[in-house]
A and B are shown apart, each in its own frame.
Chain A
Amino acid sequence: MTSAAPPILDVSNIEVIYNKTVQVLRGLSLCVPRGRIVALLGSNGAGKSTTLKAISRLLELEDGAVTGGAIRFDGADIAPLAPHALVRKGLFHVMEGRRIFDDLTVEENLTAATFALTGRRAPPKSFDIVYDYFPRLHERRSGLAGYLSGGEQQMLAIGRALIADPQLILLDEPSLGLSPMLVEEIFTIIARINREQGASMLLVEQNAAVAFAVSHYAYIMETGKIVIDGPVETLMRDQDVREFYLGMGVGAAGHKSFRDIKHYKRRKRWLS
Chain B
Amino acid sequence: MEFDWLFFCEVTLAGLGSGALLALTALAFVLIYKATKVVNLAIGEMLMVGAYLFFSFAAGFGLPVWLAIPLALIGGGLLGAIVERTIIRPMLGESAISVFMVTIGLGSVLVGLVEIIWGAAPTQLPDFMGTTPLFIGDAYVSRKIAIGFAVASIVIAAFVLAFRFWRGGVALRATATDQGAAYSCGIDVPKVFSAAWIVAGVAAAGAGILVGAVGGISPTMGVFGLSALVVVIVGGLDSIAGALVGGLIVGLVEAWSGTFIGGEYKLLATFGLLILILMVRPYGLFGTVEIERL
Contacts and interface: CB of A to CB of B under 8 A. Distances in A.
Most chain B beta carbons < 10 A, residue from A82, A103, A117, A118: A103
23 contacts: A58-B180, A61-B183, A84-B183, A87-B186, A95-B180, A99-B178, A100-B181, A101-B173, A101-B177, A101-B182, A103-B173, A103-B288, A104-B170, A111-B170, A112-B171, A112-B174, A114-B167, A115-B167, A115-B186, A116-B185, A117-B186, A160-B185, A164-B185
A87 B170 contact: no
B180 A99 contact: yes
Interface string A229-264: 000000000000000000000000000000000000
Contacts of B174: 101, 104, 108-109, 112
Interface in A89-133: 92-95, 99-104, 108-109, 111-118
A174 interface: no
Contact of A92 (B93, B184, B187): B184
B170 A112 contact: yes
Interface of A: 56, 58, 61, 63, 82-84, 87-88, 92-95, 99-104, 108-109, 111-118, 160, 164
Interface string B160-174: 000000010011011
Interface of B: 93, 167, 170-171, 173-174, 177-189, 288
B173 A104 contact: yes
A93 B184 contact: yes
Contact of A112 (B93, B182, B188): B182
Nearest to A105: B170
Most chain A beta carbons < 10 A, residue from B173, B178, B186: B186
A112 B288 contact: no
A104 B186 CA distance: 17
A92 B186 CA distance: 8
B193 to A, nearest CB: 12
Nearest to A160: B185
A108 B174 CA distance: 9
Contacts of A92: 184
Contacts of A87: 183-186
Contacts of A117: 186
Given A61-B179, A102-B177, A115 B184 contact: no
Contacts of A118: 186, 188
Contacts of A95: 180-181, 184
Given A101-B173, A101-B174, A103-B288, A112 B187 contact: yes
Contacts of B170: 104, 108, 111-112
Given A94-B184, A116-B185, 17 more contacts: A58-B180, A58-B184, A83-B184, A93-B184, A99-B180, A101-B174, A101-B178, A101-B182, A103-B288, A109-B174, A112-B182, A115-B185, A115-B186, A115-B188, A116-B186, A117-B186, A118-B186
Contact of A99 (B184, B187, B188, B288): B184
Contact of B187 (A58, A84, A104): A84
Contacts of A164: 185-186
B183 A58 contact: yes
B49 to A, nearest CB: 31
Contacts of B167: 111, 114-115
Contacts of A109: 174
Nearest to B181: A99
A61 B180 CA distance: 7
B185 A112 contact: yes
Contacts of A63: 93
A164 B186 CA distance: 8
B190 to A, nearest CB: 8
Nearest to B184: A93
A92 B179 CA distance: 15
A94 B180 CA distance: 11
A145 to B, nearest CB: 10
A100 B182 CA distance: 9
A240 B216 CA distance: 81
Contacts of A99: 178, 180-181, 184
Contacts of A82: 188
A35 B26 CA distance: 51
A166 B158 CA distance: 34
A160 B170 CA distance: 14
Contact of B188 (A84, A104, A114, A160): A84
Nearest to B190: A82
Contacts of A100: 181
A168 to B, nearest CB: 13
Contacts of A58: 180, 183-184
A108 B185 contact: no
Contact of B185 (A61, A102, A103, A113): A113
Contacts of B178: 99, 101
Contacts of B93: 63
